[in-house]
């Protein structure tokens, strides 16, 4: 198992380098450092001196990949790619180009609001969706099952934007039960969390419940289920103690991979509800074309996704002892 994990970690290094190179290339194909300086300075008439000063302050006055004027290792290290991209592997995110703030500090500060919204949606949603799917499987081929499937399909067919705007209109504007947007620290944060969490739960209800129902129905027709019924076990006990337990592997495949993305927040949710999390931070960076922030968030997202895949493999061995990675 240890050899397998070490091999997976070593495989992740070239993947992260490739993502870094691709992100770096895409940005500089679209915009040159001079173009980026003009956009960040935000005025119509930008003097060449102001452009050069902006580039020097942010390290964009160096060559992109190879410094022909330097000798030895400095030909590679004294470049924009080395100073601005490869240092991400040491978790040195640098400073934002739009306002000069430390990106690492912003990530650490904004991770809390993102988790405050995403974690309740994930935990409560997982319990609610699995429970509803088990009920549909218990009453399969009945009107209750049919009604549940219709409800799931209807929920899947509605855009998440409708839930956000509809929730803000009903809960905040008409009923005045929760703030329409914003966020506060401390104990008063729950007032701002109720509506986004409720919207997140409703938005994911249809797709997740229908997927779990499909997994449970596939397990119900297995031989071990028929054997459990032949022993006289009730249908509810068969579902909970046998079907649910053996369906954990496909469930974990979708669940564990999602866990790292909780730290990155929701781009749409945080933007509409004014939550100062990593999702809204990324959207603001894209709108302002802040290369440093977007590059850091892409790297962090890739790293967390790889961690999620490794955690998924580890969880397989916990759920099913027969699985071994060599």
- 14 falls within a domain: no
Residues 39 and 111 in one domain: no
Which of 32-36, 162-166, 208-212 has the weakest average pLDDT?
32-36
Q: What is the mean pLDDT of the chain?
A: 85
Residues 86 and 128 in one domain: no
% the chain with pLDDT above 70: 95
Query: How many folded domains does the chain comprise?
Result: 2
Residues 118 and 238 in one domain: yes
User: Would you place residue 255 in the very low, low, confident or very high pLDDT band (cuts 50, 70, 90)?
Assistant: confident
The secondary structure of the chain, three-state, reads CHHHHHHHHHHHHHHHHHHHHHHHHHHHHHCCHHHHHHHHHCCCCCCHHHHHHHHHHHCCCCCCCCCCCCCCCHHHHCCHHHHHCHHHHHCCCCECCCCCCEHHHHHHHHHHHHHHHHHHHHHHHHHHHHHHHHHHHHCCCCHHHHHHHHHHHHHHHCCHHHHHHHHHHHHHHHCCCCCCCCCCCHHHHHHHHHHHHHHHHHHHHHHHHHHHHHHHHHHHCCHHHHHHHHCCCCHHHHHHHHHHHHCHHHHHHHHHHHHHHHHHCCHHHHHHHCCCCHHHHHHHHHHCCCHHHHHHHHHHHHHHHHHHHHHHHHHHHHHCCCCCCC
- 26 falls within a domain: no
Q: Once rounded to an integer, what is the mean pLDDT over residues 218-228? A: 88
Residues 82 and 112 in one domain: no
- 164 falls within a domain: yes
Residue written as tokens 């499987």?
137
Residues 130 and 44 in one domain: no
Residues 111 and 76 in one domain: no
- 159 falls within a domain: yes
CB atoms within 10 A of CB 175: 9
Domain that holds residue 36: 31-90
In this predicted model, which residue has the larger pLDDT, 42 or 258?
258
Residues 44 and 188 in one domain: no
Position 304 scores a pLDDT of: 87
Residues 76 and 160 in one domain: no
Residues 68 and 195 in one domain: no
For residues 18-56, b (16+ Cβ closer than 10 Å) or e, as one string? Answer: ebbeebbeebbeeeebeebbbbbeeeeebeeeebeebbe
Residues 46 and 128 in one domain: no
CATH of the domain at 206: 1.10.3720.10
CB atoms within 10 A of CB 141: 8
């Amino acid at each position: 198992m240890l050899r397998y994990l070490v091999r997976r970690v070593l495989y992740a290094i070239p993947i992260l380098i490739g993502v870094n190179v691709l992100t770096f290339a895409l940005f500089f194909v679209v915009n040159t450092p001079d173009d980026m300086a003009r956009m960040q300075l935000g005025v119509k008439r930008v003097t060449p001196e102001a452009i050069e000063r902006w580039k020097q302050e942010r390290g964009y006055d160096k060559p992109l990949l190879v410094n022909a004027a330097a000798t030895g290792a400095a030909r590679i290290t004294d470049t924009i790619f080395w100073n601005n991209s490869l240092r991400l592997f040491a978790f040195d995110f640098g400073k934002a180009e739009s306002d000069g703030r430390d990106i690492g500090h912003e990530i650490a500060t904004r991770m809390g609001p993102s988790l405050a919204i995403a974690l309740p949606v994930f935990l409560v949603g997982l319990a609610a969706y699995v429970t509803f799917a088990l009920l549909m499987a218990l009453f399969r081929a009945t009107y209750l099952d049919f009604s549940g499937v219709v409800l799931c399909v209807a929920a899947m067919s509605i855009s998440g934007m409708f839930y956000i705007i509809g929730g803000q209109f009903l809960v905040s504007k008409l009923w005045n039960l929760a703030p329409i947007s914003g966020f506060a620290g401390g104990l008063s944060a729950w007032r701002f969390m109720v509506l986004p969490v409720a919207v997140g739960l409703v938005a994911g209800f249809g797709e997740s419940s229908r997927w779990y129902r499909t997994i449970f129905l596939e397990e119900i027709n297995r031989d071990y289920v028929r054997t459990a019924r032949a022993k006289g076990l009730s249908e509810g006990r068969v579902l909970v103690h046998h079907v649910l337990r053996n369906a954990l592997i496909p469930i974990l495949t979708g669940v564990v991979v999602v866990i790292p993305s909780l730290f990155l927040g929701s781009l749409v949710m945080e933007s509409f509800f004014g939550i100062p999390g990593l999702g809204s931070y990324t959207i603001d960076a894209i709108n302002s074309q802040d290369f440093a922030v977007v590059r850091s968030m892409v790297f962090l997202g890739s790293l967390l996704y790889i961690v999620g895949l490794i955690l998924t493999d580890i969880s397989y061995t916990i759920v099913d002892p027969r699985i071994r990675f060599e």
